[in-house]
Structure 1
Amino acid sequence: MLNQSEKTLIKQLQQGDRQAFSTVVGCYQDMVYNTAISIVQNEEDAADITQDVFVQVFQSVGSFKGDAKFSTWLYRIVIAKALDHEKRKKRKKRFGFIQSLYTEKGEAKYHPEEFNHPGIQLENKEKAGELFKALKQIPANQRIAFMLNKIEGLNNQEIAVIMNTSFYAVESLLARAKNNLKKSLKKYYLQSAKQSSHEK
């Protein structure tokens, strides 16, 4: 449930108060951007999604009933927009740029570009890069649950509310995500171990 200051802020926002909107943007823009970049893994796209999210917040806050936390409502918007953005981008690539993704030998040459996640320390950047690459390979619902848990630090009950599912379904999604990620990252860690043993 909302606390009193949140209730007041939302009420002002629903009345079209620009100052209240600035306050909401100031409070939540990092959360929105971090969630978006965890999903789309591209700084420019994440910035665009963040802007779109707040435009939607301003336009549709009238439909917010206050029966869940404001942040829950916000997470749902950013996740939906980020996943939608991914689908559009995939369609674009499929229909517009198929030739450019392949070398003359027919080998795929596309690799996800590097990006900086604000929550990742510099010394963990390489490991984080491999993790995010692996996250792209697992089903979207597993990826969202894992990202909300491990990157956003939310508990299973909070994730269940955001994803509109049960606590046990979230547990299952997280278990499957970890299992799939282990398989994807096994190769990377084996290579790292070999490299470490050569350096000794």
Structure 2
Amino acid sequence: MDVNLEQLFIDFVRDNKKPLYLFAYSYVKNEQDALDIIQDSIQKAWQSLHKVEKIAQLKSWFYQIVARTAIDFLRKMKRIQVMDEEEISYVSPQQQDTYEDVDLENAMDQLPYPLKEVIILRFFEDLKLEDVATILNIPLSTAKSRLYKALKLLKIELSVEGSK
């Protein structure tokens, strides 16, 4: 394996630990689960680092791994989940989300997940639409249409929230 690529990967993870954590957290809404996803993603990426063809694609390649790992985690949790939400909130310590814009958070929660993913990657992770399409493994045209639809729904939801 290329030693230079290994060091670039280590530097990338170190320099982007907070955005990567927030990205994983946006999927699972739990601090410990997000940290586990990042740890698993780093391990998976390290084992397949030799597959990176272009260093310029390192960011989108790793975000794709994080997204897939988070989705796999959520699928696994769907099968395991036994308690209802009320029981979980009673048993677990309360996690405080640090969104500054509650209306935006509520509007984002109303979006279907495929639309929410595009918004998170494009605006919260500041990725190009081409990279969003690569990470989600969808055509660019699909990423564009999901972004347009999500923005339209957010605008409607925020205008409804604002008029309350």
Greater Rg by CA? 1
**Secondary structure, aligned partner of 1:154:** coil
* Structure 1 residue corresponding to 2:97, chosen from 116, 136, 141: 116
User: 127, 134, 142: which is aligned to 1:161?
Assistant: 134
Among candidates 29, 35, 41, match of residue 17 of structure 2: 29
What is the CA deviation profile of residues 88-127 of structure 1, one whole-angstrom value per residue up to 9, with x for unaligned ones? 222222xx22xx4479xxxxx99xx65435xx4xxx2423
DSSP-derived class of the 1:65 partner: coil
Partner in structure 2 of residue 42 of structure 1:
30
CA 171–24 in structure 1, closer or farther in 2 if over 3 Å, else same: closer
The counterpart of 1:174, out of the listed 147, 154, 163, is: 147
One-letter identity of the residue aligned with 1:163: L
1:131–1:185 contact (8 Å) kept in structure 2: yes
1:130 paired with 2:106, answer: yes
- Identical-residue share of aligned pairs (%): 26
Q: Which runs of 5+ in 1 are unaligned?
A: 1-6, 14-18, 104-108, 195-200
What is the deviation of 1:82? 0.9
Scaled by the length of structure 2, what TM-score is found?
A: 0.76
User: Quick one: distance in 2 between partners of 1:71 and 1:89?
Assistant: 27
Q: Which residue of 2 aligns with 1:3?
A: none
Aligned with residue 51 of structure 1, among 21, 30, 39? 39
Q: Say what the alpha-carbon RMSD is for the aligned residues.
A: 3.1
Q: Which moved more, 1:27-36 or 1:45-54?
A: 27-36
Question: Which blocks of at least 5 consecutive residues in structure 2 are unaligned?
Answer: none
- Please report the TM-score for the alignment, with normalisation by the length of structure 1: 0.65
